[in-house]
A and B are shown apart, each in its own frame.
Chain A
Amino acid sequence: MPLKTIQAPLPGIFYRKPAPDQPVYKSEGDLVAVGETIGLIEVMKTFTPVVAEEAGKIVAFHLETEDAVMAGEPLYDIET
């Protein structure tokens, strides 16, 4: 199964969960379907969901909640 690294579509702050007191959208090892939300990127106080464009199994995250990310930097690895 090929391993792919998904890059950040936008620069901003990355969040793995919808709110501080809620569980993460996805954990390592979780299966994801196309269109599922993986995380959020906050750009100047506006939140944009990061949505899976391919189905597969998440192998690793490169960032944690509240980490800064630039467009094109690796977000997560997925086995498709």
Chain B
Amino acid sequence: MTISKLFIANRGEIAVRIIRAAHELGIRTVQAVSAADRDMLAARLADEVVEVGKAHASKSYLNKEAVVAAAVASGADAVHPGYGFLSENADFAEMVEQAGLVFVGPKPETIRAMGDKATARVMAMRAGVPTVPGSEGRVESAAAALSAAREIGYPVMIKAAAGGGGRGIRVANTLEELAVLIPQASAEALAAFGDGGLYLERFVGRARHVEVQILGDGIRAVHLFERECSLQRRRQKVWEEAPAACLGADVRDALCASAVRLAESVNYRGAGTLEYLYDATTGDFFFIEMNTRIQVEHPVTEMITGVDLVKSMLRIAGGAPLALQQSEIRARGHAIEVRINAENPARDFAPAPGTVASLTVPGGMGVRFDTMLYPGYTVPPFYDSLLGKLIVWDDDRSSAIRRLSGALSELKIDGLTTTQSLHQALALDADVNAGEFHTRWLEGWLDANPAVAPAA
């Protein structure tokens, strides 16, 4: 069955994105809103609007019963969960299905399996996808540690079994160092935690975050190449690219093929992302986790492949098989997305809600601004700080960065303090231009550049 009326159980820019895709497919839309969101952009664009609860997300966008009841009452035949909120909640997906509606995403059991890190790791290993190498449980002696490390490969991280939060971690670069550190680490762990047990894991010092976009129809899966999202602050991505310029062609092929293997092995349905750590010094990649939903940074993939991921999700949810063969999906040029957040970079990224006095949106070839903003809109303080995503595409990475700088200088959001100034500075940075960064690079850069002045 194809979908004729879609209920959007989300807010902000992704709700706008979903409504656009639905309307292009001739699907009518019902937008869920909290009491604080009646005037949001998605509510203005949707065919119908239904209030599902109070401002606090736990009473509205996270209230499974209220959302399902509203979807049923609206006469919708499908629910798109967006990202965040209930998008990876297997119970919610199950409730939607039990109410006789289509959940735009994978089956509840897939969400449940891939949402559990240990289960996902086992699934990955079964599909022949590399995971971060480590000892099988504790290493009971120095000799056992040395033999485990031979399998894992150096450098290895020695972790206290009873430790946590980074405490009790040491790094050995060689067999000799490991032999010295094992007894020390064990004694320290015993003193600190009352348990001298240790285990080993491969140490990836300068890890890069790469992730593969996949689409599946429950039988077959294809990849849409990878993204690099290493520029992060407090584990939140702030700048994303496609493709990952750090990968050689062989590594890219192996990485993307591994993602398709894992997706097909779990009969994946819908859009999903497999996240990996990439060790640029060795060329190794390790699966970390799978996100069973559309992601914030999906537009960079759309820009290099020309495939509309949200429309693809809706078609698959409507029962259509995958429309694309792997050989038909080609990547062209380079795309960059920067997140424009209502945060003050000069004040440790303090949240800065407010009212948009005026708005000037950049344009031109290869420039896209996915946003929830309009002039006069008051950004409520109750939710995420993401206001919009500025996305650029050009023939190659350095041209894309130049285009990004130009687009950032055109973008004017008067009335709000945003992270626009951070991105202007990053686009001029030598390391960023050289593609020389890793997942902890941005935090060091921010320490060295504390006063990224907000745009006037």
List A11-59 residues whose CB lies under 8 Å from chain B: 11-13, 42-46
Are A68 and B353 in contact, with the CB atoms below 8 A? no
- Which residue of chain A has its CB nearest to the CB of B36? A68
Q: Kindly name the residue among B54, B380, B381 whose own CB sees the greatest number of chain A CB atoms within 10 A.
A: B381
Judge whether B59 and A66 touch: CB under 8 Å: yes
Collect the chain A residues with CB atoms within 8 Å of residue B445's CB. none
Give the size range of B's interface with the partner. 10 to 19
Minimal beta-carbon separation of A6 from chain B (angstroms)? 19
A43-B351, A44-B351 are contacts. A11–B56 as well, Cβ < 8 Å? no
**A46 and B382 contacting across the interface, CB-CB below 8 Å:** no
Establish whether residues B58 and A11, one from each chain, have CB atoms under 8 Å apart when the complex forms: no
Contact yes or no, A13 B55, CB < 8 A: yes
Asked whether, in the complex, the Cβ of A11 is within 8 Å of the Cβ of B384, the reply is: no
B36: A residues at CB distance < 8 A: 68
Instruction: Using A43-B353, A44-B342 as known contacts, say yes or no to A10 and B381 having CB atoms under 8 A apart.
Output: yes
The answer for the CA separation of A46 and B385 in the assembled complex, in Å, is 10
Known A11-B381, A12-B381, A66-B59; contact A46-B351, beta-carbon cutoff 8 A: yes
Provide the residues of chain B in CB contact with A42, threshold 8 Å.
382
B350 surroundings in chain A (CB, below 8 A)? 46
Contact B54 A44 (CB under 8 A): no
A-facing residues in B14-42 (Cβ within 8 Å): 35-36
Q: Which of A10, A46, A68 has the most CB of B within 10 A?
A: A68
Query: 1/0 per position for B375-411, CB-CB distance to A under 8 A?
Result: 0000011111100000000000000000000000000
Categorize the interface residue count of chain A: 10 to 19
Nearest Cβ in chain A — how far from B11, in angstroms? 13
Chain B residues in 8 Å Cβ range of A66:
54, 56, 58-59
Q: Using Cβ atoms and an 8 Å threshold, which residues of chain B touch A44? A: 342-343, 351, 353, 381-385
A57 to B85, CA, bound (A): 39
- Which residues of the partner chain B approach A43 to less than 8 Å between Cβ atoms? 351, 353, 381
A61 to chain B, nearest CB (A): 16
Bound Cα distance A44, B55 (Å): 12
Which A residues lie within 8 Å of B56 (CB)? 13, 66-68
A63 to B406, CA, bound (A): 46
Contact A45 B384 (CB under 8 A): yes
Residue of A nearest to B56 (CB): A66
B384 cross-chain contacts in A, Cβ below 8 A: 44-45
A–B complex contacts, Cβ < 8 Å, 5 sampled:
A13-B381, A43-B351, A44-B381, A45-B385, A66-B54
Known contacts A44-B383, A66-B59; 13 additional CB pairs below 8 A are A10-B381, A11-B353, A11-B381, A13-B55, A13-B56, A43-B351, A43-B353, A44-B384, A45-B351, A45-B385, A46-B350, A68-B54, A68-B382
